Amino acid sequence: MADLFSPAWMARFVEEWNKDPELSDALAQIGFNSVIAYGYPEEEKPRAFLVVQNGKATASGVYTDQPLNWDIRAQHPQWLKWIEKSPGMTGLGMAFTTGKIKFKVGDYASMLKDPRMAGPFVKSFSAMSKI
């Protein structure tokens, strides 16, 4: 497996994202467009970004100050744990409550209240686990 959030890892994430209809097709149905960043809470900037257009991942790479809709952070061991075993909605809710996942940009609470977004968010971790 390539290093977490490296360009090679992110390229595989794009592939896995687009293969999962419960992720990409579900987001396409609501016209979801976003730039999502991933990284570690102790770092000033995220490590990587993913561009999603109409539900499909269209680009990814090293973060270079792109404007973001979401900036999701967790400690490296926590990311590895989720990649090993995808969390469910309850697990992510607990992670948010306990500070194991942080959103530097984006409204986690409103996303969770919208099942059209919450389900695909959980599925994004399943896509990560296939890399």
**Can you give the residue ranges of every domain in the chain?**
7-129
Q: pLDDT tens digit string along 14-48?
A: 999 999 999 999 999 999 999 999 999 999 999 99
pTM of the model: 0.92
Work out the burial of residue 36: count CB atoms within 10 Å of its CB; fewer than 13 is exposed, 13-18 middle, 19 or more buried: buried
Question: Is the pLDDT assigned to residue 1 strictly greater than 70?
Answer: no
Q: pLDDT tens digit string along 117-130?
A: 888 988 999 999 99
pLDDT, position 2: 58
Q: Read off the pLDDT of each residue in 63-69 and give the average, rounded to a whole number.
A: 95
**Structure token digits, residue 42:** 């102790």
Question: CATH topology for 7-129?
Answer: Nonspecific Lipid-transfer Protein; Chain A (3.30.1050)
Per the listing, tokens 């990587």 go with: 48
